[in-house]
């Protein structure tokens, strides 16, 4: 089933008012009426041409972190976690690719410094009141060489607008020209409207965008999230849900997509990378504003588990905060060495199995969570933006 609707977004100026003030019409005004198409379980937004062409360095300089949705439940103690096996269907995955590494560097503004820099060294393993150990530290401990290597260069920052305000999340490439992020970085839960003016900056490091900036051409979320009918944990509607997952197809530049250079991560679904008891080693990438003011990529390593009481979300320990939303949770992160020993089960490298969705209101808890990647969300999302053998997906 396929339907199209036009949903209004309240902006500060109407089109008529903009014309009256000298005929200068902003990209926001053109996006007042959003063309939204519902295709089965997926809802897509087709930005107008003016929005796809609009780039503003001011949006990057003034962007605020998208607030990480939080809950004020009693945290799940990692020692007593509800990790009973959940049936999610047959696991599957789509492989990633390393890319050429060719750079097209541009200079972009640095976000306003909010906090003093942290020590550049590797942090010791720590934990919060949830007793969930983790390590969170910069991807780059000296300079920016690691961020510009695969698989890290496939992750980056996602800028967008909500009305007159600019926000930032994290995201990662899972096809040559398709990024995955959190749905709450793309649309407002239950409000039936998308945010606008999406810009993806892979491997951003302070003012350096080594692989350029890329405009979002076709965002997509699950219809249940868009309509506000998603399955969510009791007391956490719109926050801890099954489908806080979104993809965005990017616009090409001279026929090229960023993944040709950066490569892209794979993605897995239905418990790929998890043990039969739903445990996995999670490697989280993101740009939390609480670390280096969100200007340098951070990495968190922690054991994750699937919580039956939190809508099947994956939960791990960490201290990333606002700005990390939408960043990838990866299993088997890194480049495999030349081996003289057998591989373990589900060993395919650099597979995204979730995107950062939420944390706890109490910052002492040090836990975050993500909606599960399922054959009923990530697979149809990618299929819709990759329809008709789109070159962004080849």
122-139: pLDDT as tens digits:
334 466 888 899 999 999
User: Cis omega before residue 191 (within 30°)?
Assistant: no
For the cut 50, the answer to whether the pLDDT of residue 16 exceeds it is: no
For the cut 50, the answer to whether the pLDDT of residue 277 exceeds it is: yes
For the cut 60, the answer to whether the pLDDT of residue 18 exceeds it is: no
The whole-number pLDDT of residue 82 equals 56
The whole-number pLDDT of residue 300 equals 98
Q: Model confidence over 164-176: pLDDT tens digits?
A: 999 999 999 999 9
The whole-number pLDDT of residue 243 equals 98
Q: Compute the chain's Rg from CA coordinates.
A: 20
The whole-number pLDDT of residue 315 equals 95
DSSP 183-234: GGGTEETTTTEE-EEEEEEET-BTTEETT--EEEEEEEEEHHHHHT---B-T
Fold of 2-393: Thrombin, subunit H (2.40.10)
* Tokens describing residue 349: 């490298």
The whole-number pLDDT of residue 167 equals 93
Residue bearing the bigger pLDDT, 223 or 119? 223
As a whole number, the mean pLDDT across the chain is 85
* Minimum mean pLDDT range among 45-54, 69-78, 112-121: 112-121
* Tokens describing residue 40: 């089965």
In angstroms, the Cα distances linking 356 to 68, 180, 286, 371, 378 are 9, 11, 9, 8, 14
Rounded Cα gap, residues 158 and 153, in angstroms: 14
* Tokens describing residue 317: 């320990």
Q: What's the distance, CA 356 to chain centroid?
A: 7
Rounded Cα gap, residues 87 and 94, in angstroms: 20
Alpha-carbon torsion angle 229, 234, 240, 245, nearest 10: -30
Cβ contact 110:206 at 8 Å: yes
* Minimum mean pLDDT range among 3-7, 193-197, 353-357: 3-7
For the cut 80, the answer to whether the pLDDT of residue 55 exceeds it is: no
Rounded Cα gap, residues 241 and 113, in angstroms: 32
Q: What is the pTM of this model?
A: 0.86
Rounded Cα gap, residues 350 and 347, in angstroms: 9
**pLDDT > 90: what percent of the chain?**
66
Rounded Cα gap, residues 51 and 197, in angstroms: 6
For the cut 80, the answer to whether the pLDDT of residue 299 exceeds it is: yes
Q: Where are the domains of the chain?
A: 2-393
Q: 123-134: string of b/e by CB count within 10 Å (b at 16+)?
A: eeeebbebbbbb
The whole-number pLDDT of residue 30 equals 34
The whole-number pLDDT of residue 77 equals 62
Closest by CA to 367, choosing from 142, 97, 75, is: 75
The SS3 call for residue 121 is coil
Element (DSSP H or E) covering residue 52: helix 49-53
The whole-number pLDDT of residue 141 equals 81
For the cut 70, the answer to whether the pLDDT of residue 114 exceeds it is: no
* Minimum mean pLDDT range among 62-71, 93-102, 235-244, 352-361: 62-71
């Amino acid at each position: 089933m396929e339907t199209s609707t036009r949903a209004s977004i309240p902006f500060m100026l109407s089109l008529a008012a903009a014309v009256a003030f000298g005929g200068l019409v902003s990209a926001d005004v053109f996006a007042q009426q959003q063309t939204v198409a519902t295709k089965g379980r997926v809802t897509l937004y087709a930005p107008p041409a003016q929005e796809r062409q609009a780039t503003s360095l001011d949006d990057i300089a003034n962007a605020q972190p998208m607030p990480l949705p939080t809950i004020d439940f009693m945290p799940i103690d990692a020692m007593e976690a509800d990790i009973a096996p959940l049936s999610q269907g047959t696991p599957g995955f789509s492989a990633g690719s390393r890319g050429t590494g060719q750079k097209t560097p541009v200079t972009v503004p640095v976000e306003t410094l909010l906090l003093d820099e942290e020590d550049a060294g590797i942090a010791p393993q720590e934990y919060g009141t949830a007793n969930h150990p983790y390590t969170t530290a910069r991807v780059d401990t000296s300079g920016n060489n690691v961020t510009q290597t695969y698989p890290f260069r496939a992750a980056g920052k996602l800028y967008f607008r909500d009305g007159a305000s600019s926000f930032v999340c994290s995201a990662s490439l899972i096809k040559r020209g398709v990024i995955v992020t959190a749905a709450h970085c793309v649309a407002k839960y239950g409000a039936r409207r998308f945010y606008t003016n999406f810009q993806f900056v892979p491997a951003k490091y302070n003012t350096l965008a080594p692989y350029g900036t890329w405009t979002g051409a076709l965002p997509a979320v699950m219809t249940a999230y868009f309509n506000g009918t998603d399955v969510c944990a009791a007391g956490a509607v719109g926050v801890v849900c099954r489908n806080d997952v979104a993809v965005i197809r990017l616009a090409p530049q001279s026929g090229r997509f960023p993944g040709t250079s950066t490569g892209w991560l794979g993605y897995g679904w239905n418990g790929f990378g998890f043990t039969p008891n739903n445990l996995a080693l999670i490697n989280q990438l993101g740009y939390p504003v609480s670390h280096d003011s969100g200007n340098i990529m951070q990495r968190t390593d922690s054991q994750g588990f699937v919580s039956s009481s939190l809508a099947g979300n994956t939960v791990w320990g960490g201290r990333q905060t606002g700005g990390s939303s939408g960043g990838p949770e990866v299993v088997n992160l890194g480049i495999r060495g030349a081996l003289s020993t057998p591989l373990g089960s589900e060993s395919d490298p650099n597979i995204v199995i979730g995107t950062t969705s939420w944390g706890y209101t109490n910052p002492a808890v040090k836990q975050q969570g993500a909606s599960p990647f399922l054959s009923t969300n990530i697979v149809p999302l990618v299929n819709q933006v990759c329809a008709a053998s789109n070159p962004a997906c080849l």
